[in-house]
Chains A and B, each alone.
Chain A
């Protein structure tokens, strides 16, 4: 069966510090991968998605970047965090088929102080 992991679960970082959040998927190959941010427990905003190794598409201009160094690894990074980067970050994967549901990781709660 497939599983998706995210770490860390929670993170408190000072403004201006770097960020690296990791997401890994097990039990599937060549998944589509997604990073979302959720503010205040409301709707999800798609930040990045990837359909293959090294392929990253950005949905919104921002202070963040993403990378996919391996087939089932997706990393969200920032060189210098802003207060506005605080939020709940969710990674998800899908099979890439036409009618595909997305499977979400447990999320990372990021607080920038």
Chain B
């Protein structure tokens, strides 16, 4: 089964609003990463948060990690129509996992202008 599960599956908001996506996972991790995918394209890395970090910012992105609850959230502030995409969380178990990532099913974000 997928390690990461995103919630909600789909999110529709107006431009300027904030978008929050959640991710839950099941086993211990070394880090958790968020990726973005525009329709029919490859994935683009957004942000990585290590297991000993609780919050991280990058531009309009804010990621939190709660290892006790095995969950993470991605907040996009002041959303734009160009933020419309699918967003995936991915977990890295570390150790001898050779950098393998386990991806969730993703959240489809639609931002209406």
Mark A residues whose CB is within 8 Å of B. Answer: 32, 34, 36, 41-44, 46, 49, 51, 57, 59, 88, 90, 92, 94-107, 109
Please measure, in the bound complex, the distance between the C-alpha atom of A109 and the C-alpha atom of B40, giving whole angstroms. Answer: 8
Q: Of A32, A46, A95, A102, which one neighbours B45 at CB under 8 angstroms?
A: A102
B32-70 vs A, CB cutoff 8 Å, 1 = contact: the mask equals: 010100011111110010100000000000000000000
A74 CB to nearest chain B CB (Å): 14
Q: Chain B contact residues: over half helix, strand or loop, or mixed?
A: strand
- Indicate the member of A42, A43, A94, A99 with the most B CB atoms within 10 Å: A43
B88-113 vs A, CB cutoff 8 Å, 1 = contact: the mask equals: 10101010001111111110100000
- Judge whether A42 and B106 touch: CB under 8 Å: yes
A22 CB to nearest chain B CB (Å): 15
**Minimum CB distance partner of A50 in chain B:** B98
Please measure, in the bound complex, the distance between the C-alpha atom of A101 and the C-alpha atom of B35, giving whole angstroms. Answer: 10
- Indicate the member of B45, B92, B98, B105 with the most A CB atoms within 10 Å: B98
